[in-house]
Amino acid sequence: MNATIDLAAVKSRQQVAWASGDYAVIGTTLQVVGELLAEACDLRWDEKVLDVAAGNGNATLAAARRGCQVVSTDYVESLLTRGSDRAAAEGLDVQFRVADAEALPFENASFDAVLSTFGVMFSPDQAKAAAELARVCRSGGRIGLANWTPECLVGQMFRILGRYMPPPAGVQPPSLWGTEPYLRALFGDVAKHIAIRTRVFNFRYRSAAHFISVFRDWYGPVHKAFAALPLEKAVELERDLAELLDTLNRAEGKALVVPSEYLEVVITRR
């Protein structure tokens, strides 16, 4: 990692981006990912579970539904509020706490399982975030992750955004977490076993225009990009996103169904 990069500044800008719009509108459509990850981690009743960069709480709810004692964390308080509302609606007892994935406020080996769905992968200091996940997970516990791959819809969408709003020089792309060699490099020293499975989430919208409209209004990074660009560049960005979506659409024009590959990862702590 280049020592000249101001990671605190990068994180601050990220936090503003994720707090803009309302990620919960998008996040709730991904609930199945949290359920599948909870099953992959074989969560048990009364186990202590930490959800890191939880967003509006998909993995949080999945773990709580399985009788776990769950702490849900994110550095965007408004997202935790949405997760809290969801838990309350189901009568689930969950603790919500504002926390940075790179500096988790918990003792070593505090949890039986540590989860993150499309969250911790966006941490600027990736090695530090991975070390924190491992630190708070007990020996024999599980670290469960869902990470977008570089070539999936989300990975390609972020590459398009990067052409219009270049990321800070030297910061590693989040999509590295969606590659097996990188995950083994991050966690190999602390892992007894690493199981990696490729899964697909299908984004389902009325059309490419509908997808772009929803993401432009509610998905923080896309929302911020459109807001920052002059009109002519915003039009170009919309065109490029529509072209990508139409290319990947498997619904033959009757609607928009775009598969997006991700890695489901279960790391057993040494």
Q: What is the per-residue pLDDT for 60?
A: 98
Of 181, 175, 147, 178, nearest in space to 161 by CA: 175
Of 205, 200, 191, nearest in space to 241 by CA: 205
Q: What is the per-residue pLDDT for 97?
A: 98
pLDDT < 70 stretches in the chain: 1-4
The reply to whether the predicted model has a pTM over 0.85 is yes
Q: Could you tell me the domains of the chain?
A: 7-155+167-202+260-269 (3.40.50.150)
Q: What is the per-residue pLDDT for 176?
A: 98
Q: What is the per-residue pLDDT for 8?
A: 87
Q: What is the dihedral of CA 200, 162, 130, 144, to 10 degrees?
A: -10
Q: What is the per-residue pLDDT for 209?
A: 98
CA–CA distance, 139 with 114 (Å, rounded to integer): 12
Q: What is the per-residue pLDDT for 1?
A: 41
Q: Which positions ≥6 away from 179 have C-beta within 8 Å?
A: 149, 150, 263
Q: What is the per-residue pLDDT for 253?
A: 80
Q: What is the per-residue pLDDT for 2?
A: 44
